[in-house]
Amino acid sequence: MSKKLFIMLSALAALATSLDAAAQRMPLVELSAGMYRIEAEVAATEPSRELGLMHRKAMAPQHGMLFVFDAPGKSCMWMRNTLLPLAVAFIDEHGRIINVEEMLPQTDDNHCAAQPAKYALEMNAGWFKTRGFGAGTPIAGIDKAPKAH
């Protein structure tokens, strides 16, 4: 193996390790929608919101990621470097779903909140739709999430 190839492979391994470590350091919050329990990692800092679920190859069925924003606003999400098809629910400051968008992996298409959103909850594709959750559905436990900083 050439020295350049070894250095490149070592750098990729280090990046993967740091991404896994960053994901493991994200706090967790237990949420619920109807009778469904959700274990959500919380992205409440700018670096964690930028990383999101990028580079992950799988996510357990009842797991997700809750993005916490500084203040309600016109939030948008995209899927660059995200390998999983996801659904995102934009949520108001009272914990009610504003709208849900399905997102294809590895695209730069914007998926935006229909009204100012304080939170966004990403789950596996189809999660909200198959359970009949849409605009107006309350997400319990959101008030226990760490504040944005």
- Within 8 A by CB and 6+ apart from 15, the residues are none
Residue 92 phi, psi dihedral angles, 5° rounding: -80, 180
Specify the number of domains making up the chain.
1
5, part of any domain: no
pTM metric for this prediction: 0.83
The proportion of the chain whose per-residue pLDDT surpasses 70, expressed as a percent, equals 84
Q: Which residue range(s) make up the domain with 33?
A: 27-144
State the Cα–Cα distance between residues 125 and 39, nearest whole angstrom: 16
92, part of any domain: yes
State the Cα–Cα distance between residues 59 and 40, nearest whole angstrom: 11
pLDDT at 3: 60
57, part of any domain: yes
10, part of any domain: no
- Within 8 A by CB and 6+ apart from 129, the residues are 87, 100, 102
pLDDT at 23: 45
Tell me the Ramachandran region of residue 46: left when phi exceeds 0, alpha when psi lies from -120 to 50, beta otherwise. Answer: alpha
